[in-house]
Each structure stands twice: as C-alpha cells, then as structure tokens.
Amino acid sequence: MKKTIFNTLAIAALLVSSASAATIVDVVIVMDESGSMSGEQSWIKGVATSLETKLGVLGYSPNFSVIGFGSSANVNGRTLLAGGNAAAVNLVNFVISGGTEDGYTGLKYASLNGNFTAGAARNYILVTDEDRDVSVAANTLASTAALLSNENALLNAIINNRFSCGGATPNNLGRTTSKGYNAGALGTFTTCNTPATGSGRNNTTADYVNLALNSGGATWDILKLRGGGNDAAAFTAAFVDIKVQEIIIQTGIPEPGTYAMMATGLIGLAYFRRKK
C-alpha cells in the first residue's frame, strides 16, 4: 500500500512539474520584403509579442525565426533572425526594396535556415501581398506541401485574397477548412461554419490559399489588415487566437490548469487510500 501511495504521489509531482515547464514551439515568420510591405512588417512585431504573452500564460515558450524574401539583396530568402523571443523579433531590420516575391522559395529557405528545436511543433506564417513570382521552378505547390507535411508543420498565409463567411463578404477576415472569421464591433470577431474562398490576386488562391488550408492552417485577407480601424483590430485578435489554438492542437499537450487538476485528484486519491 505504501509503495502504491508513493507511486501516486510521484506521478502527481511529475504532472505539477510538467505544468510549470515551458513547452517550446517554433514559430517561423516568412515575410515579403517588397515595397508595399512596411505596414505588415511593423505589425508582425507586435503580433509576436502578443503571441508570446498568450502562449506564456498557457505554459508555452515560442522560439521565433524570421526570414525575409524578395529583397533585391537576396530574392530567394535571407535570415533576419535565426531564433529568439519576441523582443528579438522587434530588432529585425526588414527592407522594402524587393520586387520578386516567391513564397514557395521563401518557405523552402526558412525550412533550411530557421533555428528549430528538436521535437517542437512548427508553425509557419507567410505574409505577402503578391501572387507567386517564380524564382526557383523546382519549388512547386506539391514540393512545398510535402515540405510542410514532412515537418508536421502548419501554415498560415496572410495574402491578397478575398473570403466569405456565412454569405457575408464585407467583414470577412479569413478562414480555416471548417470555420470563417468575420470582423465584429469594436475590434472583436465572430465565427461561422460555412467559409468560402473568393477571388485573389492572379494565382494567389492556387499558390497560397490551398497550400495553407491543406496543411491544416488558416488563410487571411491582407486588405482587412490594411483597412485599419475595427477591421485591423479584429484581424489581429482573430489571428493571434487561432495561432494559439493551432499550437495547442499541434502539441497535443493539455493546458497547465488541466495538469494541476489531475495532480490534485491524484494527491486526494493517495490521501484517502492512506486513511483507508
């Protein structure tokens, strides 16, 4: 009986320890560095901070890598941050001198040059207002989808494409495979279960929307972010919340509160067994 009680308490202690230990997740930002992207480059720095704060409350520690692509210095990609926290993202020097934007090649470069943690969930964020300009023909939709699949990675694409949600187009922010997100009042957002994809810039739907959705991620309308006001606030709130939920699902790890409840139950069980 004493051995059983000891083992029960040991398991409870392990659960408490797991609840307090941060789970590292790799968040990879792949950002277009062409002339119209300065607003999104500023925006992503704040998003990194918000994401780190929300994930930290849940016991996660995001490890950010930042890749720029399309710059005149390196069309196919350049490493801006090999790995770090949100404060490090805020120090990144983006440029807006590019003109050849190949998101597939940017993702491939990020896969090869990010600073990744063994066994960590990997989550990519691609941000561009252009459709794909092919710089490396070997990087195709199929090969990029395989890259994400082999890494068990999700992709969120913030791109120049329209969406609808429950038949409502004007306030639609983006979608996953099963849910759409609409801007609400005062920077809030609502969801619906009937999302649809509308038109995009040239081949954007084929290039990026299908890639993101097939990875299990989400895709977002960059023009809603650029619209400012309530739409931009709702966009940011929805984007950060969805990223947090994605990471929880990716890791398959219960939130710390769940661990604490399990540990409390086991300790109580050990106590009553001892009395008996």
Going by DSSP bridges, is the β-strand pair 121-127/172-175 parallel, antiparallel, or unpaired?
Answer: unpaired
Q: Strand pairing partners for 122?
A: 26, 153
Alpha carbon dihedral 199, 201, 205, 209, in 10-degree steps, equals -110
User: Please, what sign has the CA dihedral across residues 76, 141, 162, 131?
Assistant: positive
Distance CA 76, CA 272 (A): 64
Q: What is the pTM of this model?
A: 0.85
In a domain? residue 13 = no
Per-residue confidence at 276, pLDDT binned at 50, 70, 90? very low
Percent share of the chain, pLDDT over 70: 83
| Upper half-sphere CA count for residue 116 (Cβ side, 13 Å) | 17
Mean pLDDT of 109-137: 96
Number of domains in the chain: 1
User: pLDDT tens digits, residue range 225-269?
Assistant: 999 999 999 999 999 999 999 999 999 865 444 444 433 443 444
Give the residue numbers spanning the domain of 28: 23-159+198-253
Q: How far apart are CA 168 and CA 180, in angstroms?
A: 10
* 12 lies in some domain: no
CATH code assigned at 242:
3.40.50.410
The answer as to whether 236 is a domain residue is: yes
At residue 168 the predicted structure's pLDDT band, cuts being 50, 70 and 90, is low
- Beta carbons within 10 angstroms of residue 177's beta carbon: 12
pLDDT tens per residue, range 43-55: 999 999 999 999 9
Is residue 7 in some structural domain? no
Q: Is 141 exposed, middle or buried (0-12, 13-18, 19+ CB in 10 A)?
A: middle
CB distance 256 to 57 below 8 Å: no
**Statement: residue 19 has pLDDT above 60:** no
User: Would 186 be classed as within a structural domain?
Assistant: no
Sign of CA dihedral 233, 93, 156, 163: positive
Residue-wise over 69-89: b if at least 16 C-beta within 10 A, else e?
A: bbbeeebbbbbbbebbbbebb
Spatial separation of the C-alpha atoms in residues 270 and 2, rounded to whole Å = 10
Residue at 181 is within a domain: no
* 225 contacts 232 by C-beta, under 8 angstroms: yes
